[in-house]
Amino acid sequence: MHSFARLSALSLVLGLAVGTVGCRRAPSEPMQPPPPTVTVASPTQRDFTDEVELSARVEPKETVEIRPRVSGYLAEVRFKSGQRVEQGDLLFVIDARPFEAALQRAEADLAQARARLEGAERDDRRAVALEEQKAISREEADQRRTRSAEARAAAASAEALLATARLNLEYTQVKSPIRGRVSRALVTVGNNISGVDGFTTLLTTVVTDDPVYVYADLDEATLLRLQALKAAGNMTLNAAGKLPVRLTIPDAPALDRDGFVESFNNRVEAETGSLLLRAEVPNSDGLLIPGLFARLRLPISGKSRVVLVPETAIGTDQAQRYVLLLSSSNTVDYRTIKLGPTIDGHRVVREGLTGTEQILVNGFARVRPGMPVLPVAATNAPVPAASTH
C-alpha cells in the first residue's frame, strides 16, 4: 500500500515536469523595421531649345576720339569723367577771342571786296555803252570787263574766308558728336592744343553705351550646326527674324538681358578655328560697361519636348549619373541617365527617362535598389519657370 502511494507521487512529479518543459515558449523572432518613407514625383516635361554658351566681351557700338579742329588756348572743360552725354553736349571751350577778331576782319574784307565789285561792274556797264558809241577802244573795254571779273572773284574769295572764320569760331566749342559715355579729360585747362591735321591733340573719348556690341568666338562644329539648322529651316528666330542671344554676367544675374546676333565675320580664323560673331544687346540703364567680361548663350537647335528632373534627385556613381525609380511593386529601381543643361535647379535628361516614371526626390540616401519603400507624393515640387535654355 505504501509502495503504491510512493509510485503514484513519483509519477505525478514526473508528469508535472514533462508538462512544464512542453509548455515553455520557443525564443521569439526579431521584429522587421517598416519600409523607409521616400518622396516621389514625376519628371517635368517642357519645350526646350539646346544652347551653347560662349565667352564674350562687351564693346561699344561706336568710339569717337575727341580732337580739336582749331588750335588755341584751352579755356574750359565742361564735363565730369565718366558721365553720360548727349549728342551736341559741350565738352571743351577754346579761347574764342582770336577767332572773333579773325571773323570781324573777314567781314570787313568781304565788305571791301563787295564795294570794289560794285565799282568794277559800273565801269563794265559804261564800257559796253561807250564801246557801242565808239567812244572807247575795244582794248579799254576788255580791261574794264577783266577788272569786273577779278572783283567778282575777290568778293567770292572774301565770302569763303568769312565762312571759314565763322566755322573756326564755331569750332572753339568742342561738342560730343554722339550720345554715350565720356572718358576723363586728357588735357587740362591752360594748355595750348593743336588742331593741325596730323598733329591734333587728343582731348578725350566718347563711346556709345546703348545698345552695345558683344563679341564672341564661335567654334567650327557649332557654326556647321547652325548652318545645317538654317538650311533645314529649323533655326530658332525672334519676332524680328534674327537669331536671339542671352547675355549673362557671372555673379550679376540682375544684368542678364536678351539681344540678337547682328553679324558674323567673313572667315574662320586658322589659328583658333573659330568665327567671330557680333551680337547687339540693349543697355538703356548703362550698366553694361565696355570691356566687361560676359557669357553669351546661343540657341543651336529647334524646339523639342524634353524631360527634366530636380538636381537633388540625381546621384553620381563613379563616372555616370543615375536616378532611383519607384517600381510598380513599391521597390527601388536603379536607372542610369545622360544629362543636358541646367534650367532653374532642374537638369535636362537626354537619355534614360520617358517622363512617365516616378522618381525618388527625397529620402533616397536611405535606400538601395530592390529595397521596398513607402512612397509619398511630392506636393511642392519646383517647376522650371523657363522653357528655352
For the chain, the domains span 38-48+304-377, 52-61+209-299, 64-95+172-207, 97-171
Dihedral sign, CA of 219, 224, 230, 232? negative
Instruction: Return d(Cα 140, Cα 143) in angstroms, integer.
Output: 5
CA 308 to chain centre: 27
Per-residue pLDDT band at 27 (split at 50, 70, 90):
low
Lowest mean pLDDT segment, chosen from 3-17, 20-34, 88-102 = 3-17
* 332-383 pLDDT tens trace: 899 999 988 887 778 888 888 988 888 888 877 788 888 888 888 887 544 3
What mean pLDDT do residues 308-320 have? 86
Give pLDDT, residue 3: 43
Tell me which of 145 and 195 has the higher pLDDT: 195
Q: CB count, 10 Å around CB of 218?
A: 22
What is the pLDDT, as a whole number, of residue 30? Answer: 65
Ramachandran area for residue 6 (φ above 0: left; ψ -120 to 50: alpha; else beta):
alpha
Q: Are 182 and 208 in contact (CB under 8 A)?
A: no
The model's confidence at residue 92, banded by pLDDT at 50, 70 and 90, is very high
For residue 11, pLDDT over 70 is answered with no
SS3 content of the chain, % helix, strand, coil (to 5): 30, 35, 35
d(CA 152, CA 146): 10
Q: Residue 163: is its pLDDT beyond 70?
A: yes
Render 298-345 in DSSP notation, one character per residue.
EE-S--EEEEEEEGGG-EEETTEEEEEEE-TTSBEEEEEEEEEEEETT
CATH class of residue range 64-95+172-207: mainly beta
C-alpha cell at 155: 568778293
**Helical segments of the chain, H only:** 2-23, 97-132, 138-170, 220-232
Beta-bridged to residue 252, according to DSSP, are none
The domain 38-48+304-377: what is its CATH number? 2.40.420.20
Mean predicted confidence (pLDDT) in 266-291: 90
Phi, psi of 382 (to 5 degrees): -70, 145
**CATH of 52-61+209-299 among 2.40.30.170, 3.40.1280.10, 2.60.40.1730, 3.90.1280.10:** 2.40.30.170
Does residue 76 or residue 241 have the better pLDDT? 76
Residues 238-266 pLDDT 10s: 888 899 999 998 888 888 899 999 999 99
Question: Would you state the CATH architecture of domain 97-171?
Answer: Orthogonal Bundle (1.10)
pLDDT at 16 over 60: no
| pLDDT higher than 50, residue 5 | no
CA-to-CA distance for 197 and 70, rounded, in angstroms? 9
pLDDT at residue 67 is higher than 90: yes
Helices (H), 171-281: 220-232
Handedness of CA 166, 167, 172, 173 (dihedral sign): positive
Predicted pLDDT of residue 187: 95
What percent of the chain lies above the pLDDT cut of 70?
89
* DSSP code string of 167-198: HHHHTTEEE-SSSEEE---SS-TT-EE--STT
* Mean pLDDT to the nearest integer, 12-35: 56
**Banded pLDDT at 18 (limits 50, 70, 90):** very low
Residue 80 near residue 339, CB atoms below 8 Å: no
List of residues 6+ apart from 332 with CB closer than 8 A? 324, 325, 326, 360, 364, 367, 368, 369, 370, 371, 373
Q: What is the pLDDT of residue 300?
A: 83
Q: State how far the Cα of 21 lies from the Cα of 19, in Å rounded to an integer.
A: 5
Residue 105 clears pLDDT 50, i.e. is over it: yes
The residue that leads in pLDDT, 184 or 253, is 184
Per-residue pLDDT of 45-54, as tens digits, reads 888 777 888 9
pLDDT (average), residues 24-51: 76
